[in-house]
Structure 1
Amino acid sequence: MTRQLFASIHQFDVLAFSWCMNRKRREHLTQVGRYVSATADGPLYALMALLLYALHDAFDERWLQAMALAFVVERVIYLLVKRVCKRNRPQDALINFHSFIRPSDQFSFPSGHTSCAFLFATFLVALFPAVALLWWLWAASVGLSRIFLGVHFPTDTVVGAFMGASVALWAMGYVGL
Structure 2
Amino acid sequence: MRTIEPIVRMDLAFSLFCLQHRFNTPVAKISRWVSKTGDGHLYLVLELVIWYMDDVVGRFFFAAALLAFAIELPIYWLTKNSFKRRRPEEFSHLLQAFITPSDRYSLPSGHTAAAFLMATIIGHFYPSWYDGALIWALLIGVSRILLGVHFLTDVVIGAILGVFAAHISIRYVLTLV
TM-score, L = length of structure 2: 0.93
2:28 maps to what in 1? 30
SS, match of residue 57 in structure 2: coil
* Deviation at residue 58 of structure 1 after TM alignment: 3.8
* Deviation at residue 79 of structure 1 after TM alignment: 0.1
Once superposed, which parts of structure 1, at least 4 consecutive aligned residues long, lie more than 3 Å away? none
Stretch deviating more after TM superposition (55-64 or 29-38): 55-64
Cα deviations across residues 24-69 of structure 1 (Å, max 9, x unaligned)?
Answer: 4322221110100000001100010011111024424333222111
* Deviation at residue 130 of structure 1 after TM alignment: 1.9
Report how many residues are paired. Answer: 175
Q: Trace 1:135-154 onto structure 2 (pairs within 5 A).
A: 135-154=133-152
User: What amino acid is the match of 1:84?
Assistant: S
2:104 maps to what in 1? 106
TM-score, L = length of structure 1: 0.93
SS, match of residue 99 in structure 2: coil
Q: Trace 1:23-172 onto structure 2 (pairs within 5 A).
A: 23-172=21-170
SS, match of residue 108 in structure 1: coil
RMSD: 1.4
User: What amino acid is the match of 2:3?
Assistant: L
Report if aligned partners of 2:87, 2:150 keep a CA contact under 8 Å in 1: yes
Report if aligned partners of 2:111, 2:140 keep a CA contact under 8 Å in 1: yes
Q: Percent identity?
A: 36
Question: 5+ unaligned residues in a row in structure 2: which ranges?
Answer: none
Match of 1:16 among 14, 17, 34: 14
